[in-house]
Structure 1
């Protein structure tokens, strides 16, 4: 009997342990749960996926980066974590049945090159140059391997190139921009002999900060009258200005999305200031001031008012503020103003500030509802159309910034990739006819 009683203890102890573990898991899940905006993502599958993806991002990089002792720690932690996570959701093997792929250097710039195993089967003899996002501070071709490899197969052109341009704070403006221009010139000069590319059929595309670089490149080529002209530009939720970090979409974020692991105003301020050569590691107060527009002097404010007419936004964008969401009080910082004024008014740094947008390549503008950069993308699309540029603006009411990086997990991201492919290949086909 004594032995029988003893034999009952282990199951009871195991059961107690399971209960404690279950309670701990439930407590962690409860503490991590944050309701997402109701309209973020559309399908049930996407909503479930986002309630997994967002807490993972928040736990892995967002929370740790916020307790870092300084800005360098925040930046390096975020770089390392996102690089690691991207490998977990990216391709397992460096092989594809349809593509030949290599990582090399063109004119000193690291690039990831994709081209078809059989040129004869391609729909177009054009080329696509992709510039990744990451606020000029994060990202690389490895982090974007999943989305760029998928795009390269979908687009069906002779060449698809992803650029590993130099990042801030190690390399400040205009270093990354110049790297991208070098790759563009290399494709123009060498694409015909190396890959059978028609240099008149080059489309440049980029997301976030990459969209900024695309806009700047196309503007600069027009200014210099460089030939051949770029066939088209694809701007994916681009970062186009730093004169107003209190737009309606920025204010909506502060009210409804603060604390979620998506692109936030403070991160934009840190990264964009680093790109401008500001030492935010030594002066974190500069980033805080910038989120209130405390970095904007009178000259930059005047140019902002000329370039950003918010009355042109859809009423639904303006309604986001509900009439009560007023801008934060400006915390002016004269030292920061003096440094930033030449950058804020320079279209190479902030393409939305370019006064004349005429004679630019046809454009596809993609914006997302749940994105601090939504308004500036919409305004740029409006101004391109007003300037006579053939422009398609596609807005995803259920989308969010950087969603394309989750194209394997989210239906809305795959839908966006299909739309991008359709626009790009239609442009290529039109060029074939001409």
Structure 2
């Protein structure tokens, strides 16, 4: 009996050791915190996959429920005292759900203040305004501005362009009705993190062409996902194995948003979702690795018309060149009239190069850009600012940028 118990203990210990053997970069800030986050994300994904296998929801539905429950439980323990001094209310902008944060002092004085539209991340499939409630409340409170957090429709139940359409509709409503919220419509910016950064950048590009609307004052993009053309950028190659956000998981997010067909994961992972013609076109130049690794030779490209490009037989695949879906695919001329831009990137993030490339192209187009890069940080680190001083510094720098540019 003792031998059997000892054997079971050894087997369990070995399995736990293997499971918790999370790859940790040697110079990462707070390595234990990083490893724990990676293990949690891997566990959540495995539970979601197992649930689908057992007939309990789909993988994205399970991800949404499990991660939402974990974060929600932590938030209930923490409470909402950080909202003190704010009037927070849920409402509808153009039939899109939003949460408005207005400093009580602003409502009393009637003075016109800046505004900010915030679009949350979550791979287009999960999370909510609730998850980012503390950050959006802090921005409203510290800057004395009105923040609108958008609760857009989620994939894969609502594939592209649903989320984009919701964010455009909510932003336009805010710009058109700013005075109702004591906001100066000429001082409204937009921001978002991860997939929310994608949506914020896409909305900025779309509204730059709109006539009869006030121009957005700035866009602030936090580790944004900006392209689905090249999954072999240096950051995907170097950090695609990290469970904080792996290459495989990022491709899943893109596919759920694109067409809800995960059967093409391996095709996308091998960069076989494009064609030789596309890989030599101007679009390949928009993700030229030389922007990240200056020692490389620039990519030689041949301009082609979008409608003449041939693609593999993948549902909606031509959408990967649509700037509303992938803002980094915007032509150079479309970048020229964009507002001052803040781009935050992290070293240990598959999306690092998306942000670096966008910042580089915007500067080349004449846009004023502030690129805030964190060498020892990872994707999704910002909400850990209460226990991670690098994340707190990043939050402070982000808020400081908004203060100067709204």
Give the structure 1 partner of residue 160 of structure 2: 173
Contact 1:253–1:372 (8 Å) recurs in 2: yes
Out of 245, 266, 269, the position equivalent to 2:251 is 269
Out of 314, 324, 345, the position equivalent to 1:367 is 345
Distance 1:85 1:148, change over 3 A: farther
Give the structure 1 partner of residue 71 of structure 2: 86
Give 1:388 shift: 0.5
Q: Alignment length, in residue pairs? A: 383
Larger Rg: 1
In structure 1, distance between residues paired with 2:212 and 2:378: 35
1:402 aligns with 2:380: yes
Out of 315, 339, 348, the position equivalent to 2:316 is 339
Residue aligned with 1:399, SS: strand
Give 1:407 shift: 2.3
Give 1:408 shift: 2.5
Out of 75, 78, 99, the position equivalent to 1:112 is 99
In structure 2, distance between residues paired with 1:23 and 1:102: 53
Give the structure 1 partner of residue 147 of structure 2: 160
Distance 1:286 1:29, change over 3 A: closer
Give 1:335 shift: 1.5
Give 1:267 shift: 1.9
Contact 1:138–1:167 (8 Å) recurs in 2: yes
Unaligned runs of 5+ in 2: 1-5, 297-309
| TM-score normalised by the chain length of structure 2 | 0.85
Aligned alpha-carbon RMSD (Å): 3.0
Distance 1:86 1:313, change over 3 A: same
Give 1:72 shift: 6.3
Higher relative contact order (CA 8 A, sep 6+): 1
Give 1:207 shift: 0.7
In structure 2, distance between residues paired with 1:161 and 1:22: 52
Unaligned runs of 5+ in 1: 1-18, 319-331, 429-434
Give the structure 1 partner of residue 37 of structure 2: 53
Distance 1:172 1:279, change over 3 A: closer
Contact 1:129–1:203 (8 Å) recurs in 2: yes
Out of 51, 54, 64, the position equivalent to 2:47 is 64
Distance 1:166 1:335, change over 3 A: same
Distance 1:377 1:115, change over 3 A: same
Give the structure 1 partner of residue 120 of structure 2: 132
